[in-house]
Amino acid sequence: MAEINFAEIEKKWQDAWEKEKVFEVSEKSEKEKYYVMEMFPYPSGEGLHMGHAFNYVIGDVYARYKIFKGFNVLHPMGYDALGLPAENAAIEAGVHPESYTNKAIKNYIEQQKMLGLSYDWNRMINSADSSYYKWDQWIFLKMLEKGLAYRKKAPVNWCRKCNTVLANEQVHNGKCWRHEDVEVEVKHLEQWFLKITDYVDELLDKIDDLDWPERTKTMQKHWIGKSYGTEIEFEINSEKWSVFTTRPDTIYGVTFMVVSAQHERLMELVTEEKKEEVKKFLKKLKSVSEKELEEMEKEGVFTGSYAVNPLTNEKVPVYAGNFVLAEYGSGMVMAVPAHDQRDFEFAKKYNIPIKIVIQPMEYEITSEKMARAFTGEGKLVNSEKFDGWDNKEAIDEITKFLKEKNLGRSSVQFKLRDWLISRQRYWGTPIPVIYCNECGIVPVPENELPVELPKNVKFGKGNPLETNEEFVKVRCPMCGSNDARRETDTMDTFVNSSWYFLRYCDPKNSSAIFDKKKVKYWMPIDTYIGGKEHATMHLIYFRFYTKFLRDLGLLDFGEPAKKLFHQGMLHGEGGIKMSKSKGNVVNPDKVSKKYGIDTARLFLLSLASPDRDRDWSEKGIQGTSKFIKRVWEFFEKYSKADMVSNPPPFPSPTHPDGGMNSETASNSQNKWFAHQFGNSSKRLESKLNKAIKEISENIEDFRYNLAVIKVRQLFFTIEEEKEISKKDLESFVKIFSVFCPHLAEEFWERIGNERFDERGEKRELKGESGREQKFVCLSSWPFADESKIDEELERVEKIMEKTIEDVNHIIGMIEKEVSKVYIYVVPGEIENFDVGVLSDRFGKQVEIFANNDKGKYDPEAKARKAKPGKPGIYLE
RNA sequence: GCGGGAAUGCCGGAGUGGUCAAACGGGCUUGGUUUAGGUCCAAGUAGCUUAGUGCUUACGAAGGUUCGAAUCCUUCUUCCCGCACCA
């Protein structure tokens, strides 16, 4: 068998697709649009690995399928090019983020092209390009204008040696990533926020309408975290502090308060003599990361201040605690140790009194004997005028009472907080704002956008942007004073990914963020594919941005993506996470060289349902490789018989330029192949149409693994058949092409759909119809003719298989040598059994009788066992 | 800690209230083809039992709902994802 020259075939078709602009689309089409996209990647210096490839192939199969089904398919790709790793590379290796990123992008594009993906490369986006981030800045200005961008103090991780803010990822065990001896400090800085909370109700309510995985929708709901409760005013040092609680019924049981250790105004509460102690406690905070805080032991320290309970006028101590979120509610909680487990543990630890205010119905609890908080229902006690109330009813009643006294009010709280977008870093979108001593915060005028990142900056100490004086020192656009200072914070890179899907619709527009008409045509995204790790952040941010842009009047819809699909993670061999440090990164280039990229594609998709995690396996791909070779050989055999007498009139992969001469070409190409094609049997037609129907459904539902199985089975059926019609073999090639596009194009060409007209002349391709014939990927999806599906045939085939299995079973069981097989069938079924087929399968002589045949040979009366669908068997 | 998932033969996985648990692939065993190896072909691959049958065991563990559970509920174990400055 000839080796398959994958590299040559892949290159040939990738070039052809590109040259003929096969996947370039425009909104000027009669066809119905379909927008499918995968989340754009951060172009890391480590390059593309198989996990990425898997993600893109999932989208590619879907896009190709939709093209087949007659849609005008937008399938774009871009690069989320701004981000921390490029900056880390600058600090550690002295590479400028721009060159690092450009190199990485170049590498990504090259690798992605090798995967044979159906992207419209014309629409490629690079978020690090100022022509893109200009519009990030533009959106920011619009938000500022609408009051959705504002400044507020917020905690950050600070390393005093780097003299800069650290990302959570740059904090290792509370120490700086570059200075193992430096404990990270928590500092408060003025930062920019986007008021996503203005959209909180819509973000929550519209989740139900989305065709997204339920688990993701649930996660978003919990993340937004709407809860109803009561805001209660406590007085501390003659100042009002309101706290949010869902349990106002326990207000008489408050024995202390806890303010978040990261609260902006914490120090206002700390008395002079407690300052040292509190500062010492704050030093223990390892980073601002909530995950780390939650994993720390719950601890606190007394601030020296007391809060006055508005209903009892009791004074209770105020603690600073590491387990209270600064951003939720007011950053302070009232603690009721008798009825909240966390408060209970805290009270036990610091010897704070426990006061029971709810007694259960069936038994009595006492504060001395309590082993844990009582969180169940019961009657209020020690609650003055509310004694005896059912605690559930008391919730409303006490809230009402507080409201009357002007000491509180019912309130709704969300876990979702405003989006902190300020980053004290270089490789991000500059925030287009100028600070003027006279005019204050001045937005950069729209016509001065983009505010470009200056190339000349120093890395390693402080915020790089501050090292470029030309950038920082500017004239105030308002008053003209030369004393103004440019904002040196850049934006969170999630900003860039919050609207890129809109830019794909009109990627080169330099006068507007996008053309409304183009966006109206393509949007919303019909199917969005990406990892589940984005369930709560990116996938909420992009919904927020869409709603904001709608309210600006640019869009007429509020949800960016109708359908969402999460692909599973690809792990390395043996289930180990793929990473450079573990040395188990599977590189698509290498796999491609060894097995062909189509083989890798098919293997990844056949492993498991695409939404499940899977492990790469060298042995596994070998199995797929075997199948691919077999398919190749089949199509090769189709032309081999003729090669003896007639060289093929098309360039074969082994003879790139060979085989072309006018004499052979003058043999009509159809005639040339005619004798190889014939009529498909009823059996083949049945199986083919069934396969088309089921494979279509499977692809539609992202059950690619099941589709692949059916493709394999269909191929085996075709292999078994003596002849096949050209149309039916074409159907197979079409289906095969969504998974293995390069090989399929090759087969398509070979079975005579390309380049030569009836006279053997090279066909001039004009317009779309020409392209459609030239490329299998632009032909149309085979129609599933359900009238040709013969279930009876399938049933009969099963009976045959079962009979064969039974015979083999018996042969394996009995001692004696078997030379003849006798089969006794009920009279109506006798035509289902084919002596020739059966003797072939057993390699033995076979005789078949009707069980009522008087002349039959049946020494052990096995004919009696014959039932419909289950013949009697005798062996000797 | 909080929120969301997952667990099925030797392995990867199908199957989400009954018709069939293990489709399909891989591995392994036996036999055939082959100069040999690979390829390829055939049969087998929980246990007992039987001329093709029947029974038992079996879907992470333990309970529960149901006439009936891999599938629904509860608790637990292990693993994965996210937790707001990684993207």
Q: What is the 3-state secondary structure (H, E, C) of A810-870?
A: HHHHCCCCCCEEEEEECHHHHHHCCHHHHHHHHCCEEEEEECCCCCCCCCCCHHHHCECCE
Q: Which residues contact A632 (CB under 8 A, 6 or more apart)?
A: A4, A743
pLDDT at A273 over 80: yes
pLDDT for the residue numbered A676: 60
What is the spatial distance, in angstroms and rounded to an integer, between the CA atom of A235 and the C1' atom of B27?
72
Determine phi and psi for A227, rounding to 5 degrees.
-145, 145
Q: Residues for chain A: how many in total?
A: 876
pLDDT tier for residue A122 given thresholds of 50, 70 and 90: very high
pLDDT digits (tens, 9 = 90+) for A243-266: 999 999 999 999 999 999 989 889
pLDDT digits (tens, 9 = 90+) for A160-179: 999 999 999 999 888 899 89
| Nucleotides of strand B lying closer than 7 angstroms to a protein CB | 1-5, 12-15, 23-27, 39-40, 42-44, 50-53, 80-87
Answer whether any strand B atom is within 7 A of the Cβ of A863: no
Residues 335-394 of A with CB under 7 A from strand B: none
Residues 485-504 of A with CB under 7 A from strand B: 492-494, 497
A289-303, A439-453, A641-655, range with the lowest pLDDT: A641-655
What is the spatial distance, in angstroms and rounded to an integer, between the CA atom of A809 and the C1' atom of B45?
14
Residues 209-228 of A with CB under 7 A from strand B: 214-216, 218-219, 222-223, 225
What is the spatial distance, in angstroms and rounded to an integer, between the CA atom of A619 and the C1' atom of B10?
15
**DSSP helix/strand/coil, A564:** strand
By C1' distance from the Cα of A492, the closest nucleotide is B85
pLDDT for the residue numbered A763: 52
What 8-state DSSP symbol labels residue A38? E
What is the spatial distance, in angstroms and rounded to an integer, between the CA atom of A798 and the C1' atom of B47?
27
pLDDT for the residue numbered A843: 76
The share of chain A scoring above pLDDT 70, in percent, equals 92
Q: Find where tokens 């199948």 sit.
A: A627
What 8-state DSSP symbol labels residue A513? S
| ∠ CA A460-A463-A468, rounded to 5° | 95
**How many CA atoms lie less than 13 Å away from A298 in the CB half-sphere?**
16
What 8-state DSSP symbol labels residue A257? E
What 8-state DSSP symbol labels residue A571? E
The share of chain A scoring above pLDDT 90, in percent, equals 62
pLDDT digits (tens, 9 = 90+) for A547-602: 999 999 999 999 999 999 999 988 887 777 777 777 778 888 888 888 999 999 99
pLDDT for the residue numbered A772: 63
Answer whether any strand B atom is within 7 A of the Cβ of A156: yes
Amino acid type, A624: T
**DSSP helix/strand/coil, A294:** helix
ipTM at complex level? 0.92
pLDDT digits (tens, 9 = 90+) for A744-766: 999 988 887 655 444 445 555 54
Higher pLDDT, A297 or A492: A492
pLDDT tier for residue A374 given thresholds of 50, 70 and 90: confident
pLDDT at A781 over 90: yes
Sign, CA torsion A364/A370/A371/A372: positive
pLDDT at A671 over 70: no
pLDDT tier for residue A207 given thresholds of 50, 70 and 90: very high
Peptide bond into A450 cis (omega under 30): yes
pLDDT for the residue numbered A762: 52
Mean pLDDT (whole number) for A422-442: 95
What is the spatial distance, in angstroms and rounded to an integer, between the CA atom of A320 and the C1' atom of B81?
32
DSSP code per residue over A149-213: EEEEEEEEEEETTTTEEE-GGGEETTEESS-TTPBPEEEEEEEEEE-GGGGHHHHHHGGGGSBS-
Angstrom distance (rounded) from CA A284 to CA A183: 9
Higher pLDDT, A339 or A826: A339
Q: Find where tokens 């590479």 sit.
A: A95
What is the spatial distance, in angstroms and rounded to an integer, between the CA atom of A327 and the C1' atom of B83?
14
In terms of average pLDDT, the best of A554-568, A649-663, A790-804, A858-872 is A554-568
Burial of A234 (0-12, 13-18, 19+ CB in 10 A): buried
pLDDT tier for residue A639 given thresholds of 50, 70 and 90: low
Burial of A208 (0-12, 13-18, 19+ CB in 10 A): exposed
H or E, element range at A703: none
Q: Give the β-pairing of A845-850 and A820-825.
A: parallel
Contact between A246 and A225 under an 8 Å Cβ cutoff? The reply is no
**Structure pTM?**
0.91
What is the spatial distance, in angstroms and rounded to an integer, between the CA atom of A180 and the C1' atom of B59?
49
Q: Where are the beta strands (DSSP E) in A740-828?
A: 820-825
Q: Give the β-pairing of A525-529 and A78-79.
A: unpaired
Return the number of other C-beta atoms located less than 10 Å from residue A212's C-beta: 21
